Amino acid sequence: EVQLLESGGGLVQPGGSLRLSCAASGFTFSSYAMSWVRQAPGKGLEWVSAISGSGDSTYYADSVKGRFTISRDNSKNTLYLQLNSLRAEDTAVYYCAIISGGSYSNYYFDYWGQGTLVTVSS
Amino acid sequence: QSVLTQPPSVSGAPGQRVTISCTGSSSNIGAGYDVHWYQQLPGTAPKLLIYANTNRPSGVPDRFSGSKSGTSASLAITGLQAADEADYYCQSYDSSLSGVVFGGGTKLTVL
């Protein structure tokens, strides 16, 4: 059974940093591209970042480019998102998701974790 | 303002058919990029409902169907059930933004 378990969320002050983790199991982790998608309280879904199976290719939404860094450790079956220079508008539930669809322009999200809440507030 | 436009809400009685539209532009749906649909039940993570415009993942009932034409796509739900009450999101790729884009979401209410 595919399982994605996010962790690392919490309360952080504006300008602060946080590292999110997503522990994967039930599938061959290194064979799949992975992504982070967030959802602000009461709002819609916003794609944040994606990474290829090997970790060689990374992609970011303009809203987080230069502040967030996606990475993965295939030996630990774990996906990461480093969040720096956090702003109030980054407050959201952050979901990790398995990507299908082949190329970047065909990406869709096959399985989702339950999410971890990041709150940016003083 | 989302790149893909969905109606904020739709409603229907049990057993009825409803459709949810997803309107894009020449840089996303109109450019030929696939459209995918997700269902988010209250308090849960999103779930893939339709991929590549018309395809249902294993386990998704055939009451759910997708279509695409020009710069728009639609999700149809037939035989509406109370359990279908959820938020629905479309998703595609936008070449101008060079990134994945979602619609703003549509809340389905079963009357």
Per-residue pLDDT, A102: 79
Rounded CA separation A68/A7 (Å):
16
| Residue B5 DSSP SS3 | strand
Kindly report, residue by residue over A1-20, the tens digit of the pLDDT: 999 999 999 999 999 999 99
Mean pLDDT of the region A50-66: 96
Mean pLDDT of the region A48-54: 96
Contact B51/A at CB under 8 A? yes
Per-residue pLDDT, A12: 98
Q: Which residues pair with A48 in a beta bridge?
A: none
Kindly report, residue by residue over A83-107, the tens digit of the pLDDT: 999 999 999 999 999 999 878 888 9
Alpha-carbon torsion (A24, A74, A86, B6), positive or negative: negative
CA atoms within 13 A on the CB side of B65: 8
Q: Which amino acid is at A115?
A: G
Query: Cβ B99–A109 below 8 Å, yes or no?
Result: no
Q: DSSP state, A89? A: G
Searching chain B, which residue's CA lies closest to the CA of residue A62?
A: B97
Per-residue pLDDT, A106: 87
Kindly report, residue by residue over B55-82, the tens digit of the pLDDT: 999 999 999 999 999 999 999 999 999 9
Per-residue pLDDT, A104: 84
Kindly report, residue by residue over B11-28, the tens digit of the pLDDT: 999 999 999 999 999 999
Per-residue pLDDT, B32: 94
Per-residue pLDDT, A103: 83
Contact A62/B at CB under 8 A? yes
Window A:4-33, CB contacts with B under 8 Å: none
| Residue A4 DSSP SS3 | strand
Beta carbon pairs, A and B, within 8 Å: 66
Per-residue pLDDT, A36: 98
Alpha-carbon torsion (B93, B63, A41, A1), positive or negative: negative
How far from the centroid of its chain's Cα atoms is residue B86's Cα?
11
